[in-house]
Structure formats: structure tokens, C-alpha cells
Amino acid sequence: MFKSFIATALLAALSSTPVAAQKARRGEQDAAFQATRQGAVHSLRSIENDIVPEMKASGADYIGAEFDEENLSYRLKFMRGSKVIWLDVNGKNGAIIGKA
């Protein structure tokens, strides 16, 4: 009986985490869409078309992006071997503003 209680509690905890993450991601997507629609930033697709091919040529695999509504910037994430590379890109003009 104790095992089933633990399993139920663990399942409940794990199932709520993806929901919160999905809500946060949805808010990020909405912010990026609105900023693009208003002409405040370039679309993510446009940014990706400029940057991803160059990074792929250097041996990095693209794994995704995040939008920073406050700074109107994108963070593109890449993997090269076991290293993660983050490129911060100005959403207004597509220029790389940081790399980590």
C-alpha cells in the first residue's frame, strides 16, 4: 500500500511539471508571435535561416531557441560534441550579441 502511495505521489508530481513548462513555453511563443507581428523583431525562422547553416558548417547541431520578450532577443542553442553553445541574437536586426 505504501508503494502505491509513493508511486501515485511521484506520478502526480511528474505530471504537473510538463503542464507548467507547456504554459511557460506557450507564453513565450505568444510573445514572440506578437513582437514579430508588430514588426518589433524578425521572425525566428528568419533568424534561424541566417545563423543555423553557418553553425552546422562548423559542426554544431541546432537544438532549439528561446525568446526573451524583455530584451527582444532570441537564444539559439546548439550542441557540438558534448558542449552546449548558446548564441544570443538581437531580434531587431539579427546580429549575434553574445555567445556562451
pLDDT for position 38: 75
pLDDT for position 92: 93
Place of cell 510573445: 31
pLDDT digits (tens, 9 = 90+) for 36-91: 777 778 999 999 999 999 999 999 999 999 999 999 999 999 999 999 999 999 99
pLDDT for position 15: 54
The answer to whether 56 and 48 are in contact (CB under 8 A) is no
pLDDT for position 22: 53
DSSP SS3 for 38: coil
Q: Rg of the chain's alpha carbons, rounded to an integer?
A: 18
Q: At 34, which amino acid appears?
A: Q
DSSP SS3 for 4: helix
What pTM, to 2 d.p., does this model score? 0.67
